[in-house]
Amino acid sequence: MNARWIFLITVLVLLAAAAVIFWLGTPQLEEVSPVDQAADVPAGTAIRLRFSRPMQVDSVVERLTLSPFRTGQVSTEGNEIVFTPDSAWQAGETVTISLESGARAAGLFQLPLPGEQSWSFTTRRPRLAYLYPFDRAANIYQLDPASGETRQLTDNPAGVLDFDIDSRGETLIYSAYVGDSGSAIYSLDLTTPDAAPLSILECPQALCTAPRVAPGNDFLAYERTAFPGKDVVDYPQVWLLPYANPQETAQEPTLAGDALNQTFEPHWSPGGLLTFYDSSQEAFILLDPRSGERREIANQTGQPGSWSPDGQAYVVPEILDNPTVDPAPDPATFPVVSSHLLRFNMDGSQQDLTIEEELEDTAPAFSPDGNWLAFARKYLTPALWTPGRQIWLMRPDGTEARQVTNTPDTNHYNLAWSPDSSRIAYSRFNQNAPTDPPEIWLVNPVSGIETQLVIGGYAPRWIP
């Protein structure tokens, strides 16, 4: 075989090899989530792009366009690139994502991604879940604040005790009475119309309340109080149940706190720390259920606080002594202590956010975007005292405090921010009319415009 044929064969082999490398090595965008034209997508949903090969992350991010624009955090999971927005999308808006050509694969053959691709999805309008009615066996209802449409979600004749919504807005977790024999915890799939509830945990001869799902949906915390009986602890204690799948909860629950201590008010940090109050230690316990590590925050009130969205700060009410007031008011009508909001940072520092004296600040609630802290305030000085607490806002560092509601006889509580941080749902009742039913209202924290939603309802929570 002469040199010319050897050369031609070599060229053909190289061309074939190059074609194979190009065919197999050129990255492809194989899957996106949410999928194109998806509807009713939760407002805080992350955008996932799965490629056929690992990619150079910066080259993808440089060519990724979001409309409406959002800043966010980028992470990788194998061949996936995940964009998590810093703030939720607006309810009911269409989000368009475009990826220009040219993003390069990582590794040996750094070939470019061919062709521009674009897709979109529409976020769902957030709904409110709440308990109703207040004066008899309550069940859970759902309300669309925009349309006013309501739907009953549960139908338990003995009544529902409490409930929670998972972070995806797809599952309702609730505790309910089971006749006179105790209670149980159930899950309900919110994405399937007419879905039947599934029993997660039976609590015979006990009340299991305050079910709270971890942000990663891998644990369920709850409060259990046994009926009085022989050799039984009949005060509340927080328990922890592995909860990877509501249909597969065969694992046994374990006590979260000390076996001899009274513990209650379980809730979670954004980073997955179980937070509950230990009345024996007079402290909030911050427990990592995966490693078993724990921290303590000394506190006298036991009233639950609020975690900042980044999980780096916990704001909680605390009782502080009032300074001497001159002239001294009547001690029968003027309290000798105040309630301040204290901010505990994970670096060990702390700050008094209330700053002023003779105030009763409580019920803190961080906005999901982290820009504001809502809370309930009452003045304790005789000249400014009112029967009810009003809704106030401040920055997370305690600055720019301003009043939002102004109905002196009305107490405001159960503050719940909408996923996009544009509205606050809350319960309220008239302190001077104890027989009147509680009400659920909605307020725009910028304009101060309030809207009555439900008479006789309470405990509102947003379904994102």
Can you spell out the DSSP letters for 201-256? EEEETEEEEEEEE-TTSSEEEEEEEEPS-TT---S-EEEEEE-S-TT---SPPEES
Cis before 68 (ω within 30): yes
**First-to-final CA distance of the chain:** 73
Lowest mean pLDDT among 132-141, 334-343, 359-368: 334-343
Lowest mean pLDDT among 183-187, 206-210, 369-373, 378-382: 378-382
The whole-number pLDDT of residue 200 equals 93
- Summarised one tens digit per residue, pLDDT across range 171-220 is 999 999 998 889 999 999 998 888 999 999 999 999 999 999 999 889 99
Predicted confidence (pLDDT) at residue 464 exceeds the cutoff of 80? yes
The residue written with tokens 């089971």 in the block is: 178
| DSSP conformational letter for 58 | H
The whole-number pLDDT of residue 358 equals 86
- Rounded CA-CA distance 445/404 in Å is 6
Contact 112, 103 (CB under 8 A): yes
Phi and psi dihedrals of 87, rounded to 5?
Answer: -135, 150
Lowest mean pLDDT among 12-21, 45-54, 77-86, 455-464: 12-21
Q: How many residues does the chain have?
A: 464
Handedness of CA 243, 249, 251, 252 (dihedral sign): positive
Predicted confidence (pLDDT) at residue 323 exceeds the cutoff of 70? no
Q: How confident is the model at residue 276 (pLDDT cuts 50, 70, 90)?
A: very high
- Which residues in the chain are classed under CATH 2.60.40.3710? 27-123
In the chain, the amino acid numbered 26 is: T
Lowest mean pLDDT among 1-10, 88-97, 292-301, 374-383: 1-10
Domain range 156-298, CATH class: mainly beta
* pLDDT > 70: percent of the chain: 89
Mean pLDDT for 440-453 is 96
The whole-number pLDDT of residue 355 equals 85
Alpha-carbon distances, residue 285 vs 81, 278, 296, 326, 347 (angstroms): 35, 7, 5, 39, 16
- Rounded CA-CA distance 73/123 in Å is 19
Predicted confidence (pLDDT) at residue 33 exceeds the cutoff of 50? yes
The whole-number pLDDT of residue 16 equals 47
Q: What CATH architecture is 27-123? A: Sandwich (2.60)
Indicate the helix (H) or strand (E) that contains 7: helix 3-25
- Which residues in the chain are classed under CATH 2.130.10.10? 156-298
Q: How confident is the model at residue 19 (pLDDT cuts 50, 70, 90)?
A: very low
Contact 388, 410 (CB under 8 A): yes
The whole-number pLDDT of residue 112 equals 87
Lowest mean pLDDT among 39-48, 74-83, 343-352, 427-436: 39-48
Mean pLDDT for 223-227 is 94
